[in-house]
Amino acid sequence: MQKQLHFKTLILSIVLTFFFQFSFGQGNTNPCAVNPCLNGGACNQLTDTYSCECTEFYFGSDCQFLKSVTLVAPSAPVVFKNDVNVPLDDAIQATGFSGGTYNVTASGLSNMTITFTITGGTLTLGTTDVVFGGGGNGSSSFTATGQAETVAFEDGPLNIALNQATFTPTPNLFGTNVASITFTAVYGPDYKGNGPSYSESPASVTFDIQDSTLSVEDQIFERNIKIYPIPVKDIINIENNSDNIITKVQILDVLGNMVYSTDFSTFNSNFKINVSDLILEYIL
């Protein structure tokens, strides 16, 4: 009788153990039941855990981080002293998705914020659907917030604003490497909606502001003439990158007296003039 009771107890214990394990243990645990993957990620159940298959815009164990954005600085613009609103080339841009389609509701839109620091002048962007902070648009230190790219990977308002960017130098400032444009980008809240998830390293361009004291009325012609070095000790180089023909070059001293003159009978794009024997101060 005792053996039979012991056998029944053992059978009951096995049945109860199996029941509890099946109902409340690992057999009923599904970590993907409530999808822990953020921003549109797909949850894949493993033995006792899960993995997330993220969309192309996100990464991380729970797809909580936005992928990086690439910043491209403009080429060095040709800027003359006291210029106003010199256009930058369209190469300036911030590439990377910021349309917000794949964000969870708590995170909101993934607007990108670009922070600009300018030396030697001010920067002005386009304004449509862009929010400005800091010193404000047209200053030397400001932020611009908006969508960089749309869902279709077309330029969003922020990149359109960058394409319309212009630079205005500080009045009466000129010299070598006296101006620069530097910018960084932060975009998207983190997976809890508490702050930015990615900060891009700076993009920057440094450039000259040229003195424009040539007595040439045509500004387009002036921009295509390069005279260097200034000041000069022996050889002056003159480069003509325009379609205009230079027939004569004259050098004047500070009193306006002509101390050098030469004529050209044929078109030349480059000139070298030896002034080492001239003891003078001159203006160009």
The shares of helix, strand and coil residues in the chain, as percent rounded to the nearest 5, are 15, 35, 50
Integer Cα distance of 234 and 277 in angstroms: 8
Task: Write the pLDDT tens digit of every residue in 29-88.
Answer: 788 988 889 878 899 998 888 999 887 667 778 887 766 678 899 999 999 999 999 999
Q: Strand, helix or coil at 237?
A: strand
Q: Strand, helix or coil at 76?
A: coil
Question: What stretches of 39-198 show up as alpha helix (H) in DSSP?
Answer: 157-163
Integer Cα distance of 170 and 119 in angstroms: 9
Residue 22 phi, psi dihedral angles, 5° rounding:
-75, -40
Integer Cα distance of 26 and 13 in angstroms: 18
Residue 13 neighbours by CB under 8 Å, 6+ apart: none
Residue 39 phi, psi dihedral angles, 5° rounding:
55, 40
Tens digit of pLDDT per residue, the chain (284 long)? Answer: 555 555 455 454 544 444 444 444 445 578 898 888 987 889 999 888 899 988 766 777 888 776 667 889 999 999 999 999 999 988 888 876 666 544 433 344 567 889 999 999 999 999 999 999 999 999 999 999 988 877 666 788 999 999 999 999 999 999 999 999 999 988 765 444 555 556 667 899 999 999 865 544 455 555 677 777 777 778 888 887 777 777 778 887 767 778 888 877 665 667 788 887 775 444 44
Q: Strand, helix or coil at 221?
A: helix
Tokens of 239: 């480069």
Integer Cα distance of 71 and 114 in angstroms: 10
- For the chain, what's the residue count? 284
